Each structure stands twice: as C-alpha cells, then as structure tokens.
Amino acid sequence: MTIGRQFKLLRRERGLTLKMAAHGILSVSSLSKFENGTSQLAADRFFLLLDQLNLDWDVFAKPRSRDKQPFLQRYLAAARHADVQELASILRQLPLANVNQRLLLHLTLHNDAPERFSILPHEQSQAQSLLMTTADWSLLLRLIAVQLAKIIGLDELSQLIAAFSNQIQRPNTPQDHFNLANRMFLAAVLRYVAAGKLTEARNALNLIGQATVGDLGIEFQIACVKRLLMIYSSDKVVALQGRQEFLQLKKMLAQLGAPAWTATWLPAIERLAAAKGCSQEA
C-alpha cells in the first residue's frame, strides 16, 4: 500500500474529512492527490499532517527485516534476554569500521558467555579510555560502561562508578539513563561482594537513587541485592534474616513466573548466596 492510501485509510477510520485533515497545512486538492497517489507530498507537510492526526510515524516507515534493523534496537532486544546467538549474529554483520559497536558486542558476549568469548586486554583499556575521555555519554557509551563494570579490575571499578554517577547528576537526566546507571551499580555491588569488599559494596548500593520510583523490576532487584549483603554480614542474626527474606523474594518471583530478563542477574546473586550456605533447600 502506498503511504497516501495508508494515510487515507487511517484518516477515514478516524472520521476526518479531507478538509479537516488538511486544515492549516495544505490545500484539500493537494491532500486528495497525495492520497490517491497522483502526486508526491513534501516531507515537511507530511509530518505536519501526521502530527495533526496524531498518527505514529512507524506505521508508515516500514520495519525492515531483523538483520537490517538499527543496531541499538537489535542489541537491546538481544541483550535483555542474554540471547548469545543473536548477539553473535549482530557482530558478524557489523562492519569492521563500527569500532564502538563492536566493542560493546565483544564485552556483552564475554559477560554473557565467558567460556565461549574472551575479551582482549587492549579492548578493555580501549573501552575504559573511551569512557574517561568523553564528557557526555551517548546511549552506546552508557551500555559499554554497564558491560565494562562486570570485568574491569576492582581498583578501577570505583573510578568507573564515580564517572557514571557524575553522568546522572545533570539536570533533566532521562529515566533510562538512571536505569542503566542503577544496573551498573548493582553489578558493581555483586563484584565487591564476591571479592569480600563489603564496605565498597554498600557504598555502591548507596549510589542508587531516586530513579527507581514505580519500577517494580528494579525495586525487586535492589531488594535481592540488599538481602545478599545481609547474608554476608558477620552478625549471625542479620545473616539469617537476610537468608529468609531472600528466599521469600524468590518465592514471589516463582509465583509470578519470573520474566526471562531476570536470568541476566538473578543467577549471579544466587551463586553468591549459595556460597554462604543459602540455597532453596536451606
């Protein structure tokens, strides 16, 4: 269907006359010719029309087959479910010139499937210097930071956390910026716990701020990480309480049916909890 015909269909479905739709933007006859495919429409007028009729642009911009989709879109969908196969296939199709995108994929693949994908030291330092020398992180860079936090040396981790923390201090920081920062802080907590650095772990946890309001998924994740810290407490009473509450949280997740994306972080928490004798059977 031509975009003109599609527009006509949606316009009529919404009960609008040609005159109504064209009002203030173009003449009735121009709109009519566009709808019937006898003439083209300049882009500026077309997008004003879509705005006037509250229509979505993506209805008209034909989605491409999956391997032609924009990189970030495809990456985010695959990374959310740790779909290693899809991540690897994105990498294969990526031109060598797309250095930062390749870097993100290498890091992600390594983190999701370390036994199959190794990461070279120079890639790690490349990612690090990229982040440290860029003032304003794009989405791509933020994603790189989240992945880098999972492998960077512990002494450099604090610097990375501080850098991301600075990124979200700006006014009007968008919500997804906060979400990614929180994911990184949570990943950092797990690494510190694994290394027995509980003070650093608590500090990283304290960086998680306002961003979580109303998001049950991240609230739940934070609650689990908090219980993990309790399990690692030297106070036996606190540790026991942490254990019980962690199992209670997992029970709720089982009742609701855990969404697939929990698989990217829950097993790591479970492993660390199990190392302290906290498992489902306990």
- The contact set with other proteins (CB under 8 A) reads 3, 9-10, 13-16, 20, 23-25, 40-48, 51-64, 68, 70-73, 138, 140, 212-217, 219-220, 222-223, 226-227, 245, 248-249, 251-252, 255-257, 259-261
In whole angstroms, how close is the CB of 164 to other proteins at the nearest point?
Answer: 20
Q: Among residues 57, 59, 93, which one has the least CA distance to residue 75?
A: 93
In whole angstroms, how close is the CB of 257 to other proteins at the nearest point?
Answer: 6
In whole angstroms, how close is the CB of 80 to other proteins at the nearest point?
Answer: 8
Tokens of 213: 């309001």
* Complex with other proteins: residue 23 or 116, whichever CB lies closer: 23
In whole angstroms, how close is the CB of 154 to other proteins at the nearest point?
Answer: 26
* Complex with other proteins: residue 188 or 222, whichever CB lies closer: 222
* Complex with other proteins: residue 41 or 157, whichever CB lies closer: 41
* Complex with other proteins: residue 18 or 151, whichever CB lies closer: 18
* Complex with other proteins: residue 85 or 121, whichever CB lies closer: 85
Q: CA–CA distance from 59 to each of 4, 9, 73, 167, 179 (Å)?
A: 12, 12, 17, 34, 28
For residues 32-58, one letter each, b for 16 or more C-beta atoms within 10 angstroms of the residue's C-beta and e for the rest, the string is ebbbeeeeebeeeebeebeeeeebeee
| CA–CA dist 101, 94 (Å, integer) | 8
| CA–CA dist 81, 209 (Å, integer) | 25
* Complex with other proteins: residue 153 or 176, whichever CB lies closer: 176
* Complex with other proteins: residue 119 or 188, whichever CB lies closer: 188
In whole angstroms, how close is the CB of 163 to other proteins at the nearest point?
Answer: 20
DSSP state of 243: H
In whole angstroms, how close is the CB of 201 to other proteins at the nearest point?
Answer: 16
Q: Which CB contacts under 8 angstroms, 24+ apart, belong to 244-249?
A: 246/273, 246/278, 247/278, 247/280, 247/282, 249/220, 249/223, 249/224
In whole angstroms, how close is the CB of 277 to other proteins at the nearest point?
Answer: 20
Q: Is 176 helix (H, G, I), strand (E, B) or coil?
A: helix
Q: Among residues 201, 282, 216, 279, which one has the least CA distance to residue 253?
A: 216
